[in-house]
Amino acid sequence: MLDSVKNWLKKILQYEALAETANVREIINAVRNSGQPYCPDEEGDLLFSLIRKHGYKNCLEVGFYTGSSALYMCDAVAIHSGHVTSICIDGDDAVAPGMKMLRDAGYANTHDLIQENSNQALPRKFLSNEKFDFIFIDGWKTFDHLAFEIYLANQILKQGGAIAFDDSQMVSVRKAIKLLQQYYGFEEIDYPEHNQSLRLRIFQILTCRSWQRPYRAFIKTLATEAQPPFGELTFHRPL
């Protein structure tokens, strides 16, 4: 009885994915290896929709592995000749299937992989003054590491750009997000604008057994110089 109620609920709450990402899902499903982390359809659609709706071109992610989130991002930037850079600490064997998937999908020239710890790669991006429209954070998730990443991500993200986080139900990720909101003035996106319906939200709450969203995204509303820690010399605020 309980199982049939669960199945019925799953059926009526099932996510209706974006038609524009059907090709991406097909490619991922064709190479999918059980036990490996692939971006869920609804999360991939959020990345895709954010990039497409805002016309973002230069995108960055931390954490490539299977390449599924990179594929959503490459597909989203393709219509305006954009570019995606992934940073990932994994060795050649681990990233080979994902890199092949991107090559086969036609994105060899619009995607770069930096095989390095983000604590080395992000400072170089900062020092070289490269700027990005969109950043997806899905790497190492201790608070200290995330705090270092988001300090740099904030510096290299353009005003009006967006940053998205996987695993945002984790305490460390939530603390890092608080920094973004309270120190740097980032504002959370309007999820229904990106196919993240109330029905999906109910499904997530029931399946994750948590009120916390499993992934979240934020817009950089203030230029870095106008943010309190950089604009106010007396800035001090408890977290």
Rule CB under 6 A: say whether 63 interacts with ligand SAM. Answer: yes
Cα 50 off chain centre by: 10
Pick between residue 71 and residue 227 the one whose CB is nearest to ligand SAM. 71
Q: Which of 9, 78, 90, 155 contacts ligand SAM by CB under 6 A?
A: 90
Tell me, what DSSP letter sits at residue 20? G
Rounded Cα–Cα distance for residues 163 and 149 (Å): 11
Q: Which stretch binds ligand SAM (CB under 6 A): 135-143, 188-196, 201-209, 214-222?
A: 135-143
Give min distance, CB of 52 to ligand SAM, in A. 18
Q: Which stretch binds ligand SAM (CB under 6 A): 34-42, 154-162, 172-180, 211-219?
A: 34-42
Question: Residue 144's CB: how many other CB atoms inside 10 A?
Answer: 11
Rule CB under 6 A: say whether 76 interacts with ligand SAM. Answer: no
Rule CB under 6 A: say whether 20 interacts with ligand SAM. Answer: no
Rounded Cα–Cα distance for residues 107 and 100 (Å): 10
Tell me, what DSSP letter sits at residue 163? E
- Binding characters for ligand SAM, 175-214, by CB under 6 A (x = yes): ----------------------------------------
Question: Residue 140's CB: how many other CB atoms inside 10 A?
Answer: 17
Pick between residue 114 and residue 227 the one whose CB is nearest to ligand SAM. 114
Q: How many CA atoms lie within 13 A of 88 on its CB side?
A: 24
Q: Which of 41, 42, 133, 138 contacts ligand SAM by CB under 6 A?
A: 138
Rule CB under 6 A: say whether 42 interacts with ligand SAM. Answer: no
Q: Report the amino acid identity of residue 190.
A: D
- Name the strand (E) or helix (H) holding 12: helix 2-13
Rule CB under 6 A: say whether 113 interacts with ligand SAM. Answer: no
Pick between residue 60 and residue 185 the one whose CB is nearest to ligand SAM. 60
Question: Residue 192's CB: how many other CB atoms inside 10 A?
Answer: 11
Pick between residue 37 and residue 160 the one whose CB is nearest to ligand SAM. 37
Nearest to 183 by CA among 145, 142, 155, 144: 155
Pick between residue 51 and residue 89 the one whose CB is nearest to ligand SAM. 89
Per the CB < 8 A criterion, the answer to whether 138 and 194 are in contact is no
Give how many residues touch ligand SAM by CB under 6 A: 21
Please enumerate in sequence order all residues whose Cβ is within 8 A of that of 148, keeping only pairs 6 or more positions apart, or say none.
Answer: 119, 122
Pick between residue 139 and residue 161 the one whose CB is nearest to ligand SAM. 139
Q: Which positions touch ligand SAM (CB under 6 A)?
A: 37-39, 62-69, 87-90, 117-119, 138-140
